[in-house]
Structure 1
Amino acid sequence: MNKVRKGDEVIVTAGKDKNKRGVVRSWLDENHVIIDGINVVKKHVKPNPMKGEQGGILTKEMPINISNVSLFNPSTQKADRVGFKALDDGRKVRVFKSNGEIIVKA
């Protein structure tokens, strides 16, 4: 079970976008996520008339390593660590380490 999931609000803890917040859009592989509005770069693309693609300068969101993001805790307004807890009914849920609140997916 991953500590960060698709749709979670995260805060960047390292790199050029440090302290920016965004929502996890997708997982690229086991260690990289794509976050809306974070790590945006300009990419120069050549035109490809065979595919009908137009060239130019595109802005695109690049992947960021999962070690450089942390889950955002809305009650403390800070980044927080994540733990797991088994409930009485047998479900396994994610909880914030600082205050023990259960993480509810928006």
Structure 2
Amino acid sequence: MASKIKKGDLVEVISGPSQERGGYKGKQGHVIEVLRDSDRVVVEGVNYVTKHVRRGQSSRGTQEGGIETHEAPIHVSNVAVVDPETKKPTRVGIRLDEVEKDGVTKTVRVRYAKKSGKDL
């Protein structure tokens, strides 16, 4: 599945339990990492998990360990890119634009936000 979501995009969780029921549906955050091989993304502030870390010896002689919380990946189909104008989730399209740089015109693919839901 070719993902149109890139690192740094503002996305919204569109599936799962609502925030009132302890889920993340409707929550917005920036993409921290895209895992292309498993079609998953790591979103800032979404899908927190606790991880028990064993105490270990670091190079300075300190012992660190305990319980850490960090974001876990979620499937790319469960998030949608947020339209920068309306701040609502939308679909993303790709169009061809011509860009002129140093007198040379090149055709490049550019992502754009399509019109969101009720605005049609």
Displacement of 1:60 in angstroms is 1.1
Structure possessing the higher relative contact order (Cα contacts under 8 Å, 6 or more residues apart): 1
Displacement of 1:47 in angstroms is 2.5
Show structure 1 runs of 4+ deviating over 6 A: none
2:29 aligned partner: 22
2:72 to 45, 53, 62: 62
Whole-angstrom CA distance in 2 between matches of 1:49 and 1:33? 32
Q: Work out which of the two has the higher radius of gyration on C-alpha atoms and give 1 or 2.
A: 2
User: Is residue 62 of structure 2 the alignment partner of residue 45 of structure 1?
Assistant: no
Give the structure with the larger strand fraction: 2
2:111 aligned partner: 94
Higher alpha-carbon deviation: 46-55 or 2-11? 46-55
Aligned amino acid, residue 109 of structure 2: K
Structure 2 gaps of 5+ residues are: 17-22, 100-106
Higher alpha-carbon deviation: 87-96 or 60-69? 87-96
User: Quick one: percent identity of the two aligned structures?
Assistant: 38
Higher alpha-carbon deviation: 41-50 or 22-31? 41-50
SS state of the match for residue 64, structure 2?
coil
Displacement of 1:77 in angstroms is 1.8
Aligned CA-pair RMSD: 2.2
- Count of residue correspondences: 99
Q: Deviations over 1:5-48 (max 9, x none)?
A: 11111111112211111111112233011111111111223324
Q: TM-score, normalized by length of structure 1?
A: 0.79
Give the structure with the larger helix fraction: 2
2:7 aligned partner: 6
